[in-house]
Amino acid sequence: MNTSADQNTKCEVSFTVNGEKKSVLAHPMERLLDVLRHELELTGTKEGCGEGECGSCSVLLDGMLVNSCLVPVAQVSGTTIITIEGMSSHFLMKPLQEAFLECGGAQCGICTPGMILAAVHLLEKTPNPALADIREGLSGNLCRCTGYMQIFEAVSKAAPRRAAK
Amino acid sequence: MTVPHIVGSSVPRKEGWDKVTGAARYVDDMVLPGMLYGATVRSTIARGKIRNISFDPSIPWSEFVVVSSKDIPGKNHIALILDDQPCLASEAVNHPEEPILLLAHPDRHKLRKAVDAVAIDYDPLPSIHSIEESEEQSTIIWGSDNTLKSYLVEKGDVDAVWKDAAHIVEGEYFTGAQEQLYIENNGVIAAYDPEHGVTVWGSLQCPYYVHKALMALCGLPENKVRVVQMETGGAFGGKEEYPSMIAGHAALLAIKSGQPVKFVYDRMEDMVATTKRHPSRTRHRTAVDKDGKILGGEIDFTIDGGAYATLSSVVLSRGTIHAGGPYHWPSVRIRTKAVATNTPPHGAFRGFGAPQSLFAMERHMDRIAQVVGISPVEGRRRNFLKPGQTTTTQQVIREEIDLHHLLDRALELSSYTAKKTRFAEENKTGTRKKGIGIAAFLHGAGFTGSGERYLNSLVGVEAGVDGTVRVLVSSAEFGQGTNTVLCQIAAEALGLPYGNVVIAQPDTNVVPNSGPTVASRTAMIVGKLVQSAAQGIKQTLAKTGFLGDNYTPEQFRAACAQYIAAHETLKSYARYEAPGNVYWDDEKYRGEAYAAFAWAVYVAEVTVDLTTYAVSVDDFVALQEVGKVINPVLAEGQITGGVAQAIGFALYEKVLWQNGRMINNQMTNYIMPASLDLPPIRVFFEELGNVHGAHGAKGIGELPMDGPAPAILSAVEDATGVPFRSIPLLPEDLFEALRDEPIEQDFSPSTRGRA
Amino acid sequence: MRADPSDYKLVSPGTLKGVLSLLSSEPSQWLPIAGGTDVMVLYSAGKLPNRNLINIWNVPELRQIEVLPDSIRIGAACTYTALREHELVSKEFSLLATAASWTGGIANQNRGTLGGNIANASPAADSLPALLVYDAELTLVSVRGERQVPYQNFHTGYKKTVMTSDELIRDISLPRRFSGYFSHARKVGARNAQAISKVCLAALGQCAHGIIRDVRLALGSVAPVPLRLNETERVLTGQKIEASLIDAARKCVVKEIRPIDDIRSTARYRAAVAGNLVAEFLDKLAAAGGRA
């Protein structure tokens, strides 16, 4: 089976990433995760499972938290994507980063970018979350190191600090 | 004299900023020019001879690099202990997923089809897949009798205890395999050129283990192999020995192709092909007096090592030494063995044999108490080790540990007595039964016996012209806090701000061998050496008159600059020295097994839902004595993380096997507990100090793995009356037991165990 | 990641007409992909047999939720998040909103679609039992026109449906007549979130003075298709809720379902738990006095 004869062609997909307009040439079924990491060299978004279970690949797609390992790049044409690298100016970022460091919310760090994005997504919708809201908001992000306690603490701590915009 | 304020305080994680900004660099984030991607062709059968290998012509093989065992320049084995594990199978395979061939290609997407296009014909041989089958010895797959290793520990006169026993209590206990499930899969990049030799960057715990393995595999001298640890996304023992295999594979492809090769497993491959926790079976036979005091007994502990010896002898060793728990055994005979089966070799996983044998001991203590007619709490009290007494290996307990106090405090923190009474009353009606249970245990830190002497760890500390101090160790950070704790210790020793101390990336070209990052030894043993080496810097500067007894950071900086101007570098090394009174007899397996034990009592509160037969843990108290807490936030994180993994071990994580192959090798069907499943985990520390550890620290990384499973099963027994003795305990198992078990309590019909 | 992206086509006609036209011109060649939470998992594992995919994520007609006086029409590509956030769905179709909150975590709810789960036809999908008890009706469209199919007739066997290869689910219609019912749902999975169900119950009931006027029960993961418990409903309707009835219902449930042993659970466990879930519902229905 020589594939070059029936090789599918790449297509141009344009979207905004972290505030910048980008255009990539990719096969339409390339995973968004791979386009971000390889074509755009945004390696902050991680692959943990490739099946949408661990949440390490979470990004914000038009403001919605999604698992980028399950998104074909062709579907992000014209959208706005934010990865962990683009979060630095977000008003929730500093409170979350500080709280994660204070509380021990990051140990090995591989789940942390996804976890922080999930926390941002939660706090944008629920500015004063109860513990039950935090647990639910992070239910799609697996952490093997912390046992979650210190992550919940960090998110709780960060929530009221958002006022310092 | 500086007042300790860095050690003991929760300074922020040294590499934390990179982790919360996404800047931390893991191996898959790294790309080298001309890099190829690697893939492994693996055995599809459990055991057999390789008859033929053919390559389907539909693949453009000229585009691929292909490596077989014939391409191995050095020895075809992964150097570890017995060196019996091949790097690549040549004539025969002994487990499913055993690596046979390696492929590399510039386009990672082309690899899967190529792997599938390699057809391998086997002549299958009979395979064995359980401890019992292995013991039967009707099929021999390893050595002369399938026994990878065995130990015998004897104390006192066991044969004499039975006649005086008021009760002889027997029990059999089982633990299943468990997958480490680090969120970052195994991965390495290898590069080769004739001048520098092989360089490997990887997700790993022990750079010098990989270094040693590559030397043997590639036939290269020490200075032609370099191993660099990248930021590592979780390990838990799963990256202790396995990286030598994947690094070996990448190195072979890099040597053959002359190009860098990246090998990163996907989740399915990592779960199916790499190491897991050893499954175990423990048999207890105990003579107790009428008050429930242990007179003596026999403990039979067997672990399933998989197809090759790898680390089984050491896992067995730790399981053996911990088999008696924190109790006084006047006499005991502990017979242990690791047996071979046709499954990928089992390996290191947090706890390393102790969670298995301690699970059995704790469940057995509940059984003893029940037979004698006393409470589980009282049963522990009557048998706790006291200072001055000896353990099963006849190690004298020299520290003033008071297990009664630890137990009292744990019971108070968990409101045990009040809850037990309340639950007994509330359980009379309703479909949700509550229970509370305890576990008492210990965990020895550092390598066993003469192990640390054998490791002969070396640590360096270097100062720069700007006064920055750099710690040089091969100890790896993988979330547990190595970087932070060692920098705290160095800063404390030098009286400098924590921010003035950094730690070198573990690179065998740069750092000395401070031993592997395992066995909960890093803070305790390596930390103490860091302290010495740092003090050495101070002494050097003082000796040359550049620095007085008390100084400011600025004065320190100036002194360093002066010294370096005169001597080029300012480095100090410290080498491990075995404490004088630690004696271990490897033949008789007797003596001072560990320089220090940490001690703990855990309490689990559960609800058993008789509608779904699911167990949920509602509250968890983890109380432990750990010598000295160097960083409270990090220490607490180690305990909560370990407890969470152990809750998984007890209630959620089951490996499903089919002919030696894991069939639920995806995160969707190998279930670890997540944010909605875990209880509040309440952590408390006591600090008795430890003469052998930095600032009195003992190891804590693995301790939390030992207690939760038996505490949970004890609580489930309290709730249901069923003495479960096998983990993982799934709802399906509870259902099967409750439907057959006579219900002792008078449940009303609507709450009786169903169907 | 085990698939080679260069082996796959993904086209985006952007309109329903364009999608249907492609589906009819090359029958069985094209697989529609909406949020991808099922398709992409198979793809990544190297187990997706289809090489040509049509993007329906960006077809606006499929994303609407239309509220009519007697019914609600949910576009097939509505996400679980959209369902959870819709006021009327939460108010009058709480079983569906609840099932939506159980489907994966937040990230998967933001992409997973109701139509996608229906078309994927796994008997374990959490929202399907709710659709059965709500008497859902599907509108299937193709270039040949449209047809309505009562959802209870949609599944014909394990992962088999009445859909022809040129058809697409356009919307799911639910009649607005269940506000007065007591509703109860429970999912049993290996953990509390992000778990494929072992057993899943959606139940509606109306009772007055302890007598059941109407009861509607559906279970997931206990048969090759999501199952409406018609037999058990017959046993219950018109009867007084008491211990003997609950026992009879439990026995009937166990007889009606066809659970299997699989990688997630066992047939015996599923049977026992299914019976328990129905018994639990009946207890709650009695306690609530049958009021909504």
Contacts of B21 in chain A (CB under 8 A): 44, 84-85, 88, 97
Contacts of A37 in chain B (CB under 8 A): 28-29
Which residues between 250 and 309 in chain B have a beta carbon less than 8 angstroms from any beta carbon of chain A? 266-267
- Integer Cα distance of B455 and B143 in angstroms: 28
Check CB contact under 8 Å for B182 and A143. Answer: no
Instruction: Give the helix/strand (H/E) hosting B150.
Output: strand B147-155
Check CB contact under 8 Å for A108 and B183. Answer: yes
Contacts of A66 in chain C (CB under 8 A): 107, 110-111
- Integer Cα distance of A17 and A22 in angstroms: 7
> Can you list the alpha helix ranges (DSSP code H) found in B382-458?
403-413, 416-426, 451-455
Selecting from B26, B481, B672 the residue whose C-beta is nearest the C-beta of A110 gives B26
Check CB contact under 8 Å for C11 and A28. Answer: yes
Whether residue C78 sits in one domain with residue C42 = no
Beta bridge partner(s), residue C75: C171
- Integer Cα distance of A110 and B703 in angstroms: 23
Tell me the Ramachandran region of residue B27: left when phi exceeds 0, alpha when psi lies from -120 to 50, beta otherwise.
Answer: alpha
- Integer Cα distance of B40 and B249 in angstroms: 8
The answer to whether B12 and A101 are in contact (CB under 8 A) is yes
Q: How would you list the strands of the sheet with B614-625, edge to edge?
A: B432-445, B596-609, B614-625, B681-686
State residue A7's pLDDT score. 62
Contacts of C189 in chain A (CB under 8 A): none
Contacts of C58 in chain A (CB under 8 A): 75
- Chains in touch with A (3+ beta-carbon pairs under 8 Å) read B, C
To the nearest whole angstrom, how far is the Cα of B415 from the nearest Cα of chain C?
Answer: 27
- Integer Cα distance of B34 and B128 in angstroms: 44
Q: How many CB pairs under 8 A join A and C?
A: 108
- Integer Cα distance of C144 and C167 in angstroms: 9
Handedness of CA A157, A104, B690, B600 (dihedral sign): positive
Residues 6+ apart with CB under 8 A from A41: none
The answer to whether B617 and B606 are in contact (CB under 8 A) is yes
Nearest CA in chain B to A115: B20
Is some CB atom of chain C closer than 8 A to the CB atom of B268? yes
- Integer Cα distance of C191 and A115 in angstroms: 19
Whether residue C170 sits in one domain with residue C86 = yes
Phi, psi of C142 (to 5 degrees): -155, 180
Residues 6+ apart with CB under 8 A from B197: B218, B220, B221, B223, B224, B225, B226
- Integer Cα distance of B532 and B575 in angstroms: 9
Check CB contact under 8 Å for B479 and A145. Answer: yes
Contacts of A52 in chain C (CB under 8 A): 37, 40-41, 104, 107-108
Average pLDDT of chain C? 96
- Integer Cα distance of B3 and B637 in angstroms: 26
Contacts of C112 in chain A (CB under 8 A): none
Contacts of A77 in chain C (CB under 8 A): 12
State residue B457's pLDDT score. 97
B712-721 in b/e burial notation, b at 16+ Cβ within 10 A? bbbbbbbbbb
The answer to whether A91 and A147 are in contact (CB under 8 A) is no
Q: Which CATH number is C254's domain given?
A: 3.30.390.50
CA-based end-to-end distance of chain B: 72
Nearest CA in chain B to A45: B22
Check CB contact under 8 Å for A53 and C194. Answer: yes
Number of domains in chain C: 3
Single-letter amino acid code for the residue at B260: P
The answer to whether B379 and B372 are in contact (CB under 8 A) is yes
The answer to whether C29 and C73 are in contact (CB under 8 A) is no
Selecting from A50, A100, A150 the residue whose C-beta is nearest the C-beta of B266 gives A50
- Chains in touch with B (3+ beta-carbon pairs under 8 Å) read A, C
- Give pLDDT tens digits for C101-140: 999 899 999 999 999 999 999 999 999 999 999 999 999 9
Selecting from A97, A109, A147 the residue whose C-beta is nearest the C-beta of B24 gives A109
Question: Which domain-ending residue is among C175, C209, C238?
Answer: C175
Selecting from C1, C55, C194 the residue whose C-beta is nearest the C-beta of A31 gives C1
Domains identified in chain B and CATH numbers: 31-125+181-273 (3.30.365.10), 280-448+589-738 (3.30.365.10), 457-575 (3.30.365.10)
- Chains in touch with C (3+ beta-carbon pairs under 8 Å) read A, B
What are the Cα distances from residue B477, in Å, to A92, B170, B451, B631, C187?
28, 43, 22, 15, 40
What are the Cα distances from residue B406, in Å, to B402, B436, B631, B647, B713?
6, 17, 22, 22, 21
* Six token digits for residue B656: 């499903």
Q: Which of A34, B613, B188 is CA-nearest to residue C199?
A: B613
**Half-sphere exposure of residue A15: CA atoms within 13 angstroms, side-chain side:** 24
What's the CATH architecture for A9-84? Roll (3.10)
State residue B3's pLDDT score. 52
- Integer Cα distance of B269 and B40 in angstroms: 10
Q: At CA B154, angle to CA B150 and CA B158, rounded to 5? A: 125
Is some CB atom of chain C closer than 8 A to the CB atom of B60? no
Domain range for C259: 182-288
Which residues between 647 and 706 in chain B have a beta carbon less than 8 angstroms from any beta carbon of chain A? 666-668, 672, 674-676, 678, 680-681
3-state secondary structure of B80: coil
- Integer Cα distance of A14 and A22 in angstroms: 6
Nearest CA in chain B to C200: B612
Pairing of strands B261-264, B187-193: antiparallel
Instruction: Give the helix/strand (H/E) hosting B596.
Output: strand B596-609
- Integer Cα distance of C272 and B24 in angstroms: 49
State residue C291's pLDDT score. 52
B299-314 in b/e burial notation, b at 16+ Cβ within 10 A? bbbbbbbbbbbbbbbb
Check CB contact under 8 Å for C106 and A136. Answer: yes
User: DSSP string spanning B679-710?
Assistant: PPEEEEEE----TTSGGG----SSGGGTSHHH
Handedness of CA B656, B659, B661, B665 (dihedral sign): negative
Single-letter amino acid code for the residue at C193: A
Q: Which residues of chain B have pLDDT under 50?
A: 1-2, 741-755
- Give pLDDT tens digits for A64-78: 999 999 999 999 999
Instruction: Give the helix/strand (H/E) hosting B438.
Output: strand B432-445
To the nearest whole angstrom, how far is the Cα of B689 from the nearest Cα of chain A?
Answer: 24
Question: Which domain-ending residue is among C55, C72, C94?
Answer: C55
- Give pLDDT tens digits for C5-50: 999 999 999 999 999 999 999 888 899 999 999 999 999 999 999 9
To the nearest whole angstrom, how far is the Cα of B410 from the nearest Cα of chain C?
Answer: 28
Q: At CA A32, angle to CA A29 and CA A35, rounded to 5? A: 95
pTM exceeds 0.95: yes
- Integer Cα distance of B495 and B450 in angstroms: 33
Contacts of B614 in chain C (CB under 8 A): 188
> Can you list the alpha helix ranges (DSSP code H) found in B117-241?
131-136, 207-218
The domain spans of chain A are: 9-84, 93-161
The answer to whether B41 and B100 are in contact (CB under 8 A) is yes
State residue A8's pLDDT score. 77
Selecting from A103, A143, A144 the residue whose C-beta is nearest the C-beta of B633 gives A103
To the nearest whole angstrom, how far is the Cα of A28 from the nearest Cα of chain C?
Answer: 6
Q: Which of C101, A107, A86, C73 is CA-nearest to residue B12?
A: A107
ipTM (interface pTM): 0.96
As a whole number of Å, the CA-based R_g of chain A is 17
Which residues between 239 and 258 in chain C have a beta carbon less than 8 angstroms from any beta carbon of chain B? 243, 246, 250, 254
What are the Cα distances from residue B30, in Å, to A106, B34, B203, B231?
21, 12, 12, 11
Whether residue C65 sits in one domain with residue C51 = no
State residue B580's pLDDT score. 80
Q: Is the preceding omega at residue B728 within 30 degrees of 0, hence cis?
A: yes
Is some CB atom of chain A closer than 8 A to the CB atom of B422? no
Q: Which pLDDT band holds residue C290 (cuts at 50, 70, 90)?
A: low
The answer to whether A113 and A100 are in contact (CB under 8 A) is no
State residue B739's pLDDT score. 86
- Give pLDDT tens digits for B227-266: 999 999 999 999 999 999 999 999 999 999 999 999 999 9
The answer to whether A132 and A93 are in contact (CB under 8 A) is no
Check CB contact under 8 Å for A150 and B645. Answer: no
Summarize the confidence of residues C141-161 as an average pLDDT: 97
Task: DSSP letter for C240, please.
Answer: B
- Integer Cα distance of B328 and B315 in angstroms: 23
Is some CB atom of chain C closer than 8 A to the CB atom of B652? yes
State residue A5's pLDDT score. 39
Contacts of A121 in chain C (CB under 8 A): 106
Q: At CA B311, angle to CA B307 and CA B314, rounded to 5? A: 130
B578-585 LR contacts (CB < 8 Å, sep 24+): B578/B450, B578/B452, B578/B453, B579/B691, B579/B692, B584/B448, B584/B449, B584/B450
* Six token digits for residue C99: 């099932």
Tally of helices (H runs) and strands (E runs) in chain A: 5, 5
- Superfamily of chain region A93-161: [2Fe-2S]-binding domain (1.10.150.120)
* Six token digits for residue A73: 């790049």
As a whole number of Å, the CA-based R_g of chain C is 19
- Give pLDDT tens digits for C64-94: 999 999 999 999 999 999 999 999 999 999 9
Single-letter amino acid code for the residue at B105: H
